[in-house]
Each structure stands twice: as structure tokens, then as C-alpha cells.
Amino acid sequence: MLFIIWLLSEALGIADPTFFPGPIETIQGGWELATDGFQRVTLAEHVFASLRRILIGFGIGVVVGVPVGLAMGLNNTLRAIFDPLIELFRPVPPLAFIPLLILWFGIGETPAVVMLFFAAFFIMVIAARAGVTGVRLSKVHAAYSLGASKQQILRNVILPNALPEIFVGMRVAIGVCWGTLVAAELVGAQTGLGAMIWTARTFFRNELVVFGIIIIGVIGVILDLIMRKAEERFIPWRGRG
């Protein structure tokens, strides 16, 4: 429906193509980008650059954030130490770290990846902590009565019990990372979908801007879909406790 209106607006000349490119122009631009590339960089390379950053930053964020969150959920001392830090930095948009990160790491891959790490880290800490503290006391009691040690309960009860929350955290985190990444690439990157949009803008290639926006949206949806499928596959018991 939206597409038809968009198509009509181009065909009837309602919208000024300089300000709002039509679908045919956009598809042509997209095709050119996919085959020849824009400024010698192809669509695939831009997508790959963005995905690589997100996977590294998000991946490290999960790997570090989950243990910290679990530890905070299990240990009151650790919670007292980390909680103020987490609460202070959690509301800060990850992009706000960029000036500092560029100062520390220079321009290149590192600041973007570190920023994504921050974005994912705080979300994962909170998700893992909620997963631990949300365990039903009767499950822990049942395990104790069945002769399980503290260590065994941690591994066999608390950890699997926290998995659904952790997965929800991962889904949120990957969405936030994706949005943040594209914004970060607008500022300081040569490749990536955000950088591509920004460069296209300076050359008045607005059809590439529109095409880039659509691709960003589509990849965002695909990432979420992958996470949802993984959730169904790995935690089929979610919400049925």
C-alpha cells in the first residue's frame, strides 16, 4: 500500500525527486550500489563492515555482561559495588561516549566496536541480573532438598532459569546496537551503511540515502528474526514455567 502511494507519487510527479526520490530511481540507485558500488565501495562491503562491527561489539558485550550480571544477582557485595556504576552509565546514550573513544582509540574500527560493547554490556548486565533474582524460591529449595550443592544449583538451576531473560536482553541489545552503530557510522567511519548514507548525502545522491534506510530497516528486522528463531530453538520452555 505504502509502496503503491510511493510509486504513484513518482509517476505523477507529485514529489520533487530532489527531496524525495521515487521507488524506480531508488531501485536503480540500489542496483548500481550493489553491482558497481558508490565511491568504489559496494553495498555488500558496506553491509559486511556494519555487521562485523556489530557482531564483535555485541558479542563481547554479551560475553562480559552476562557474567557480571550473574555475579551481581548472586552476590550482594558485588551488587553494591557495581550497581551505582551501572545505574549511572545505563541511561547515557552510547553515542555520547564517541568523542572520548575517538580520543583514546583514534579513528577507525575500535571506537565503534567499544561503543557497541558499552551499549550491549549494560543491557546484558541488567538482563542477567534480573534472570538470577527472578528465580522461583521453590525451585532452589527443591534442588537443595534433592541434595544439590550450591555450585550445582548455580549451574543446574539458576543459570538455565536465567536463560530466557538473557535471551530477551540479547534481542533488545542487538536492536539497540544496530541503531547505535548506524548513527555512529554517520560521524566517523569510511565504510558501513551509516557512512554510506552520509557520503551519499553530500553528493546529493538522495536515492542512495533512501535505499540505505530501507536496507538498514530490513537488516534490523532480519537480526531480530534470527534472535527470535534462536530463542524458540534454544529455550522452548520460555514463559511456560
Partner 1 sequence: MSNLSVDHLGMIYELPNGGSVEALKDVSFDLESGRILTLLGPSGCGKTTLLNIIAGFLAPTSGSINLNDAPITGPGQDRGMVFQQGALFEWLNVADNVSFGPRMNGNEGPETDAMVQDLLETVGLGDFGQKAVYELSGGMQQRVALARCLANDPELILMDEPLGALDALTREKMQSLILELWDRTQKTIVLVTHSVEEALFLGDRLFVMAPRPGRIEREYELPFAKLGLTEDPRELKNSPEFTEKREEILSLIWEMEEQIMGHEGA
Contact residues toward partner 1 (CB under 8 A) are: 136, 138-139, 141-149, 152, 156-157, 160-161, 163, 235-237, 240-241
Quote the cell numbers at residue 137. Answer: 524460591
Give the nearer residue to partner 1 in terms of CB position, either 56 or 163: 163
- C-beta of 84 vs 147, nearer to partner 1: 147
Q: Which CB sits closer to partner 1, 170 or 196? A: 170
Task: Report DSSP state, residue 147.
Answer: T
Nearest approach, Cβ of residue 232 and partner 1 (Å): 13
Q: Which is nearer to partner 1, 20 or 144 (CB)?
A: 144
> Whole-number minimum distance, CB 86 to partner 1, in Å?
25
Cell numbers placing 191: 565504510
- Give the closest residue to 232 by CA, choosing from 164, 159, 174: 164
Distance CA 65, CA 75 (A): 15
* Euclidean distance between CA atoms 152 and 180, whole angstroms: 39
Residue 147 C-beta: closest distance to partner 1, Å:
4
Q: Which amino acid is at 238?
A: R
Q: How far is the CB of 235 from partner 1 (least distance, A)?
A: 8
CB contact at 8 A, 197 and 186: yes
Nearer to partner 1, 161 or 199 (CB): 161
CB contact set of 1 (below 8 Å; sequence gap of 6+): none
Smallest separation (angstroms) from partner 1 to the CB of 128: 16
User: In terms of CB distance, is 91 or 236 closer to partner 1?
Assistant: 236
Centroid of chain to Cα 84: 24
CB of 239 to partner 1, least distance (A): 9
Q: How buried is residue 62: exposed, middle or buried, by Cβ count under 10 Å (0-12/13-18/19+)?
A: buried
For the bound state, the minimum distance from the C-beta of residue 241 to partner 1, rounded and expressed in Å, comes to 5
The Cα-based distances of 44 to 2, 13, 52, 92 in angstroms read: 27, 32, 12, 32
Which of 35/145 has CB closer to partner 1? 145
CA 143, 146, 147, 152 dihedral sign is: negative
